[in-house]
Structure 1
């Protein structure tokens, strides 16, 4: 992957709420972004996908 692809991917995941971002540096000049996974979003996606699968199964 190119650096630009990685940047775009992180940006999209951040906008979708899958990544939480913060700047927890003591030095305000340090612009390093810190990331963590939002544990709730993958779980929401899982249940949403299960619901879609059940709906398709019933309609078949």
Structure 2
């Protein structure tokens, strides 16, 4: 699709590597990220539950 023509895979790989490096070298960063993930799990649990329900319905009907 045309949207992927502006996608910079090199930049993304460098950004991921930089984030991983920061987590490896910083206890604060690891703690901050764990807290953020816990918050997201709490905040988005209802949405994930709805997604699971839709997928279960699709699986039982053979659709999807």
Normalised by the length of structure 2, the TM-score is 0.32
Greater strand share, structure number: 1
Greater helix share, structure number: 2
Normalised by the length of structure 1, the TM-score is 0.34
Structure with greater Cα Rg: 2
